[in-house]
Amino acid sequence: MKREKSIWYEHQNPEKWIPEYPEYSMYEHLRKGAERYPNLTAVEFQGKKYTYKKLIENIEKVAKSLVAIGVKKGDTVSVVTPNTPQALFMIYAVNRIGAIANMIHPLLSAAEIQKFIEDTDSVAILTLDMIYPKFAKIKWNTSKEPKMILARIVDALPLYAKPVYASQNKLSLNFNPEHDVIYWNDLIKLGKEQNPKMPKDDGQADDTAVILYSGGTSGTPKGVMITNMNINSLAMHTYDIGGIEEVVGKKSLAVMPLFHGFGLVICVHAMLCLGFHVFLLPKYDFQECSKLIFKKKINCIYGVPGLYEALIRYPKIDTDDLSFMELLVCGGDKLPEKLQHRVNKLLKKGGASVALREAYGQTECVAGCSINPDFDIRIGSAGIAYPDVYFKIVKPDTQEELPNGEDGELCVSGPIVMKGYYKNEEATAKSLQRHADGKIWLHTGDTFSMDDDGYIYFRQRNSRILISGGYNVYATQVEDAVCTCPAVAQCCVVGINDRIYGQKIGAFVVLNNKDADKELVKSKIMECCKNNLAEYSLPHEIIFRDEIPVTNMGKVDYLSLEKEINA
């Protein structure tokens, strides 16, 4: 598939531009890249390193083992783990033999996990031994029971760390006698012993590579079918928009989970295809991330606002040299302007030549579709479309395009747009629509405006539009207004059920100084809000908290706060 020359091309080294998208599998794209730098470190996990050569060897071993237990092209294998090397090997191995990786959040309930596994007719499951107790209670409602593969964290650790981990994490499992269970090391041994004939890697661009889940915080989760083309094109876009000329051997952080497009494709696949040294973190711990960033001098960071909030509070950031930072991107949630200014101020003070860049995406377009370009960063904007990606703003629930500057629903077209929702034609037809221009457009459901230069400005995910007294109130706009008060560190706005207004506006607030006079601060917050908001958008209640809860993805968990205040 040919690529078009876009605004990005005009600001780049022409030799960097790759003229065509690959027509092969996700695994093949990785393998071709790995051939160029076999002896460089590809992945590091808790101190254990895998070169690109070893990475490919491990993937091939797992692929052979999957064939040995009967997994074939078109089958689905569920991966229910945090970030571990075994999960990474499995995802690529599944793709290598033409099967589909069904990516499931390990912290879901047993009932939810069972549903996602059975809905996709998974023939095998990878999980950790420490997660298995959740599976032990499951009685499968399928004609053929899936094979359960249990990996252990200790097996992925360097030799020096194994004894300590084993002594601190003793686990005794009670296996369900109806389950067909095999440990990871035994699976690899089985593949080596049987040495089955491997199928040809003939994956096509439009083949479904992975199933990711969307809508878990705002409705019923839906399986999003992501193709090889979606994944590989986004990997190429990540290079296009990065702004780093020499990427091979640079260090990047992979803390976003593999069961999310952000983590799998941008933080891992794109980085590995480009020759980065990827630090894979097993759990979402912002404080540990901050330590690792300074200890290892990580060059490339993709994260959510919570990661940068933790980073600016890390003691070393105010005194250390930050010139090693070459690319910092924030996605996954709206980046507060106040936070962006604070990060940029610290970067400049530390000698970094880059600024924090806001981006936007959703699972239905893998993870990302826009970013602020390094040649023109605009605070408050989610940037411009990726190369070969197109935007239009339409009147909600229509295909009627709106003039620049008006708020409406963002629609996206391009090679990163999903294949559709798994076994859900009705939802697919609603989200993927063919417009009069002949293109298929993804209706995101998110409210944006677009300026004359193509920069988009996030207004609201539709699930967070509050209706107060008949007026639409955008929660993020109220949050931005509250955060203009110097005393405020963080804010989350939710709707409070009310018989008269429908919803009143409630603001949960974290202060920079927890001992500040609360009543005085409230008056200052209201003054800031009156200066920035319409009267109908003003908060009715301000609730002080020591911290704002976040989801397992690190996003602000506004639903839990909404439940709390309406209990």
CATH number, position 507 = 3.30.300.30
Residue 217 pLDDT greater than 50, yes or no? no
Q: Is residue 180 within a helix (H) or strand (E), and if so which, with residue range?
A: strand 180-183
Q: Is residue 293 domain-resident?
A: yes
Q: Which of 538, 514, 412 is nearest to 466 (CA)?
A: 538
Is residue 499 located within the same domain as residue 453? no
pLDDT in tens, 81-127: 999 999 999 999 999 999 999 999 898 888 889 999 999 999 999 99
Q: How many separate domains does the chain show? A: 3
Is residue 258 located within the same domain as residue 390? yes
| Among candidate residues 188, 203, 218, the one where a domain is terminated | 203
Is residue 174 located within the same domain as residue 244? no
pLDDT tier at 534, thresholds 50, 70, 90: confident
Is residue 355 located within the same domain as residue 422? yes
Q: Do residues 324 and 299 touch, judged by C-beta distance below 8 A?
A: yes
Is residue 479 located within the same domain as residue 451? no
Is residue 235 located within the same domain as residue 365? yes
Q: Pull the structure tokens for residue 514.
A: 């927890």
Is residue 152 located within the same domain as residue 243? no
Is residue 337 located within the same domain as residue 419? yes
Is residue 378 located within the same domain as residue 240? yes
- 144 lies in which domain range? 50-203
Q: Residue 158's domain is classified under what CATH number?
A: 3.40.50.980
Give the residue-averaged pLDDT of 169-188.
Answer: 92
Q: Is residue 14 domain-resident?
A: no
| Among candidate residues 168, 203, 238, the one where a domain is terminated | 203
The dihedral of CA 268, 269, 271, 277: what is its sign?
Answer: positive
Helices (H), 393-464: 425-431
Q: Pull the structure tokens for residue 557.
A: 């968990």
Is residue 171 located within the same domain as residue 59? yes
pLDDT tier at 463, thresholds 50, 70, 90: low
Is residue 378 located within the same domain as residue 274? yes
Is residue 449 located within the same domain as residue 522? no
pLDDT tier at 221, thresholds 50, 70, 90: confident
Q: Residue 353's domain is classified under what CATH number?
A: 3.40.50.12780
pTM as predicted: 0.88
Mean pLDDT of the residues in the chain: 92
Give the residue-averaged pLDDT of 439-462.
Answer: 92
